Structure 1
Amino acid sequence: MSQPSNNTQAAYDDNNLFAKMLNGDIPCHKVYEDDKTLAFMDIMPQAEGHVLVIPKQKAIDLGDLEPEYAAAVLMTSKKVMLAQRQVFAREGIIQMQLNGAQAGQTVFHYHVHLIPTNIHELGRHAATEADHAKLAATAKQLAVVINV
């Protein structure tokens, strides 16, 4: 089936922040990694413990994702969410995924947000950079729980 002619989505940018993390060009506070995914702390969190899960596939949004990578992102998200519940002693985890600039996507590499907070307490997206020492400590706590 051919693509609609009004498709306005740009081509994947190999210089986006998440591609640079996957290439090892910039650091991240890693929570979990396997052959298809990477989970790390959001440096501009909407709440304490905000984690992003990305595929190791060049994909801008859900429509670009190959099924095996979509499944891997879901399984990694599940591991992270279970760890967040334990570390933060809470049931509620906001699971959010934004497709395209009009929906609020700011890094154009597919990613899932896992945010241990109440929807009514959710902070503004990409508003304030977090303390990196605290992010590193939280990443370590979550990683320990995932790897038990």
Structure 2
Amino acid sequence: SSRPWRGWRCTMASGGIRYDSDSVFAKIVRGELPCVKLFETLHAIAILDAFPMVKGHALLIPKAGFPTLADCPPAVAADVLRELPRLVRAVMEATGAEGVNVVSNNGAAAGQEVFHVHFHVIPRSAGDGLVRFAPSAAQMLDSASAEEVAMAIRERLASAGPDDASAPPVAGTPLAMLLDAHALVLRLHEFVHRHVDALVVRVVRALFGRLLG
């Protein structure tokens, strides 16, 4: 395929991390390794974590192969993340959890071990002993440093431009197929306009020529 979104595979915003097509998640997506599957869609698969932190610990895994979330085209992320709310609800209801952590580790420094984008859905209950992200008052952001980091992020966003404006649809999605069909209709229209119309004109002229002759 010559789809322009393939270029995203070469833009490794995660600091040069290469996608590992032999990772455990890539093999699960291809059906080469067993798993406890919760559901599967055109774009994602949800499974139970083989090494759960708690009972009901689930994973949502895109079928598209990208090492980190920073490398994902927006359309890929959107197709996967739309499945997250129902997975969260199902995990909470099935386990009786009081809450849930949705975690995505991106990059080795963040604890990522499998370099295929994935999201942990971890059911939580009071006193479960798992880590909580609760900064102390001493770690709260002050206004000066807040504006400094906000300005740096805004500058990066401005230089990168909006993703949605340039991100093409993912191959195989209804939108992609609709756009492909629309492009085909346009090409057929152009062909008719260039060739068939001219042929009709010649035929009509020939018929009138015979009638008038």
**TM-score after normalising by structure 2:** 0.52
Question: Unpaired segments of 5 or more residues in structure 1?
Answer: 125-148
Residue equivalent to 2:23:
16
Over 2 Å off, 4+ runs: 6-10, 118-124
Q: What is the rounded CA distance, in whole Å, between the counterparts of 1:87 and 1:58 in structure 2?
A: 30
Q: State the 1:72 CA deviation.
A: 2.2
Q: Is residue 2:77 matched to residue 1:33?
A: no
**1:61–1:109 contact (8 Å) kept in structure 2:** yes
Question: Unpaired segments of 5 or more residues in structure 2?
Answer: 1-9, 132-213
Identity fraction in percent: 35
Aligned length: 121
Q: What is the rounded CA distance, in whole Å, between the counterparts of 1:69 and 1:122 in structure 2?
A: 34
Q: What is the rounded CA distance, in whole Å, between the counterparts of 1:16 and 1:120 in structure 2?
A: 34
Residue-by-residue CA offset, 1:86-129 (whole Å, 9 max, x unaligned): 111233011111001110001100000000014863558xxxxx
Residue equivalent to 2:79:
72
Aligned-residue CA RMSD (Å) = 2.4
Q: With CA pairs under 8 Å and 6+ residues apart, which has the higher RCO, 1 or 2?
A: 1
Q: What is the rounded CA distance, in whole Å, between the counterparts of 1:51 and 1:63 in structure 2?
A: 22
Q: Judging changes above 3 Å, is the alpha-carbon distance between structure 1 residues 55 and 100 closer, same or farther for their aligned structure 2 residues?
A: same
Q: State the 1:13 CA deviation.
A: 1.3
Which stretch shows the higher mean deviation, 72-81 or 50-59?
Answer: 72-81
**1:50–1:115 contact (8 Å) kept in structure 2:** yes
**TM-score after normalising by structure 1:** 0.73
